[in-house]
Structure 1
């Protein structure tokens, strides 16, 4: 689809408001009448679809293919974020070691990229500060051998991602870091043992993450993805310990909302309670082994499976790693 045509037909959820207010601003919808952004690792693409429609080539809203480089193999994360200078961009992270910001505008060019290493699983653009945070799940080198960390990249010009530079200004040890979420005020991070909440101090190259509070589990939690709970702007949704949870952003108190949720790589919940996830194929189909699934599974508000979406019309079996409600929706 032509880039300008797409952007002219897109509606921003929340109309540029802080993410904390998105739930209230999300349009009411019939089941599945919202857009889903997925990372697909066979063709190594980010793809955008309306949930309720069949995921055919004709219904593809947008896609971006990662560069054909080893460091870009295995797209793990993608999310739309708004910038002052470039409008909507797509922040992406690849298990091969790369992260970047794609110009969701005229040319889909990489406005910035860096190599934090350590199997990046999540990337966030912190609007208002112009900084980028990355969650890496494993060691990056013999000199940085802790099993997971957060990396912070800071700009010389808060309106220009190209000035973020190639080296992080801060690294924080964070075992098994997998999930990140910026709500306009705080950055939340999730890993094997820890859920943490940070604020940003300083500005430009002096920007740093400062811990506000954290929750630590006594046994291995194995947290994976963090996302907004569109049913309540005061909560996030996350998965770990073989279950799905909501977390109160003010207190970090967790509430289990779905048990027996094994191998889930990402979970999202829409404003009407409908939800969807990517669950590892080796959990659902033991003869296959993989951290991906060829389908995104959808559920009604009661948690009953309803429909699923895959790339059946593309002539190959897709390998989805993450899916989330897009921060824009096509009109």
Structure 2
């Protein structure tokens, strides 16, 4: 796609209030933010405004990975957006088929860097300032750290550390610490060093009493003191300073991701029953947790298979 003007939504970045989105059951979202989805039928990333039908005309950005002989870009499974000094906005993407990468959002949406960590990668995160990348792979369970020799050149990223982490699925950097989520554990890491000396040092961890099978980590933009985690048939809120967990939604079986904006409204992807890991719509909730509008793809000529959804921290104009 042509270069667009990419503007950071300050609320998404630092937790400042977004425009309030009043969404009683059945109502339309006000459209003050964008939602990104990993859509696995066509294997693409799509971004639409929250408050309108998700049609091709209303789509503001899309990306499809390159074809590979080994099909390593199959089943896109994570998407995050980060602002960089060298390229502006980039998209961080993973595919369960084996690949992770950094996409320059403009000028042809160039794939700036890609790698193949351990099997079934489910999350990727970038550490600002030092431009390091961390990935989470579920099979056999590793966090992989990549450090650059040139912070402005992602092609110089080299694997510098591996940490065993059973069922590694979720990653989130909150500006101070990197958080990781897996089958049994949620942990907090300090990032030390830079370039090829970049390392993660564990400073705190919590082991769930039964297998939590953690899936996704995200910021709680209604209160930056918290993170949101999914797994164990629930959505939980983690207080970062104390490590205290609060159950938000106990009937959340199959939820792959949960996002909450500054006003308290939220949305999730909940996989359909059975062996499938996708759903054809994203469910929105008002600030009291009541179900609101559901967003499927409309006018695309096919039924989308959504695997994960996230609040997009970029706006397009």
TM-score range, shorter chain: over 0.9
Q: Distance in 2 between matches of 1:30 and 1:232?
A: 16
Cross-structure match for 2:48:
49
Cross-structure match for 2:37:
38
Unmatched 5+ stretches in structure 1: 140-147
For the pair 1:213 / 2:204, whether they are aligned, the reply is yes
For the pair 1:28 / 2:19, whether they are aligned, the reply is yes
Cross-structure match for 2:266:
275
Residue deviations 1:202-250 (CA, integer Å, cap 9, x gap):
1100101010111111211111100010100111111122111111112
Q: How many residues align?
A: 307
**1:124–1:180 contact (8 Å) kept in structure 2:** yes
Unmatched 5+ stretches in structure 2: 23-28
Residue deviations 1:55-85 (CA, integer Å, cap 9, x gap):
0000000000011220000000011111111
> Which of 8, 11, 22 is the aligned partner of 1:12?
8
Cross-structure match for 2:26:
none
Residue deviations 1:105-155 (CA, integer Å, cap 9, x gap):
21201100000031000000111121100011112xxxxxxxx11011110
Q: Secondary structure at the match of 1:314?
A: coil
Shift of 1:330: 3.5
**1:96–1:117 contact (8 Å) kept in structure 2:** no
Cross-structure match for 1:138:
139
- Give the structure-2-normalised TM-score: 0.93
Shift of 1:271: 1.0
Cross-structure match for 2:88:
87
For 1:131-280, what aligned pairs fall within 5 Å after superposition? 131-139=132-140, 148-165=141-158, 168-280=159-271
**1:131–1:154 contact (8 Å) kept in structure 2:** yes
**1:88–1:104 contact (8 Å) kept in structure 2:** yes
Q: Secondary structure at the match of 2:57?
A: helix
**2:18–2:261 contact (8 Å) kept in structure 1:** no
Q: Secondary structure at the match of 1:66?
A: coil
Q: Secondary structure at the match of 2:276?
A: coil
Q: Distance in 2 between matches of 1:74 and 1:312?
A: 21
For the pair 1:303 / 2:289, whether they are aligned, the reply is yes
Q: Distance in 2 between matches of 1:57 and 1:225?
A: 28
Q: Which has the higher contact order (CA 8 A, sep 6+)?
A: 2
Q: Give the aligned CA root-mean-square deviation in angstroms.
A: 1.5
Q: By percentage of residues, which structure has more helix?
A: 1
Q: Secondary structure at the match of 2:15?
A: helix
Shift of 1:27: 2.9
Q: Distance in 2 between matches of 1:110 and 1:78?
A: 14
Q: Distance in 1 between matches of 2:221 and 2:244?
A: 18
Q: Distance in 1 between matches of 2:282 and 2:21?
A: 18
